[in-house]
Every structure is written in C-alpha cells, then in structure tokens.
Amino acid sequence: MEKKVPGVPSQTFVGGVSPRSGRGTILVISAPSGAGKSTLVRRLMASLPDLAFSVSYTTRPRREGEKEGRDYFFVTRRRFERMIAAGDFIEWAEVFGHLYGTSKAQLDKALAAGRDVLLDIDVQGHQQVRRRLPEALSVFVLPPSFRELKRRLTDRHSDSPQVVERRLAVARQEISHWPEYDYLVVNDRLSLATQALRAIVRAGRFRLQSQAERAQEICRTFGG
C-alpha cells in the first residue's frame, strides 16, 4: 500500500525536467510503523528535488486539508475495482477497509520522462512491485530496537494503547521481510539514515540499466 507523507512537496509524476537522459529509477521504501520512515522521506525529498513522490489512488474518504492529486487520487470503491480488473495498478492493497494502489500508467509516464520515483509502500506492495518490476531498487528501514520502536509509537500520542500494541504486532511480522530488499537502513540517527538513503538514490542512477541509453549514444559517436 502506498501512503501519503505529510510535508512532502507536491511533486508527483506529472511535469518536471528530466535530471538525466534515459529511463528513471523506481525506489521502494518500506518500514514498520514508528520506524521514522515518513520523516526520512520528507528529508530525502527536500534534499533531492528531482526525485518524484508517487501519489496513490484510494477509496478512503478525503480528510480536511487534503487535495485531489496532491495527497491522493480519491475514487469510489466501484471505480477502484474496475481499475483492478483492467490491470491499471502496479500494486494495490486493502488496509483497514480502504483500498490503495499505484497507477501503472502514471508510473510509466514518469519513468519514460527520466524521472526517479519514490514509492512509500508496505511489504505487500513491495512484493507486487518486485514481481512486476524486478529492476526497482528497494530499501527496508529498521528501528534500532523493539524497545525504541515502542517508545516512539507511545511518545507520539496519536494512538491508543490498544492501537500501539496492534502496530507492534504488525511490526513483528513485517520485519521478517527485510531480506527481500536490496538495502537495509537502520534509523538510529536521523541524519545518517537520510545520508544513506540519498546515497542509495544517487548510486541507483549509475546502474547499467539506468545509463544504457546514454552509453549507447556515446558508443555511436565512435563509429565503426
């Protein structure tokens, strides 16, 4: 499932200038609730203005202050189900009774324009993306310990004790999936974790498949 990260600039698939020639790179970030992923994504987006944050479709009702196309694309459940049947989503999931999904057409448009795109999705969504787009880079963010995760969830005072316990139970299941990812970042110190994510994005831009078109253009100048 893809999530909206509060405070991330409204920089989605549409528009913008390609940071380089060739096809863009997909970066998937997953983490258990309370690991600090939303803060890391905000900092990463602020430091890499040419990185696009994907906006997902959802059947969840719009909350106060949310805007269509910036926070989510809000659709009815009937329309979402039609999109599923048509194969319009790269990944989708149902969470707490609401559907969330990433549009294949929007993603393809961004990548073809040379944009690097960040997908903030859970382990279920990552598994779907990995099957359909094996070239995507993926990062799993871990807290330094279970005790620290519980402290963070409790200290933010946004959930009841029962909800905190439920989030911790889900976290126990999610962390078992870290071997499925390309990179692992422990969010012990926020500044260092942000630097690690930034390095992963920049390194991904120099993979052979990301540079293939440019390399072919250069090779053609050699003739022969």
CATH code of the domain in which 108 resides: 3.40.50.300
**Average model confidence (pLDDT) across the chain:** 86
Residue 10 in domain: no
- Terminal Cα-to-Cα distance of the chain (whole angstroms): 49
The three-class DSSP label of residue 183 is: strand
Residue 172 in domain: yes
Residue 19 in domain: no
Neighbours of 209 (CB within 10 A): 11
Residue 8 in domain: no
Residue span of the structural domain in which 178 resides: 26-220
Residue 1 in domain: no
Neighbours of 147 (CB within 10 A): 9
The 10s digit of each residue's pLDDT in 125-149 is 999 999 999 989 999 999 999 999 9
* Structural domains in the chain (count): 1
Residue 101 in domain: yes
**210/50 Cα distance (integer angstroms):** 15
Residue 77 in domain: yes
Residue 7 in domain: no
Residues 89-114, mean pLDDT to the nearest whole number: 88
- pLDDT category, 9, cuts 50, 70, 90? very low
Residue partners of 22: CB distance under 8 A and separation at least 6: 114, 210, 211, 212, 213, 214
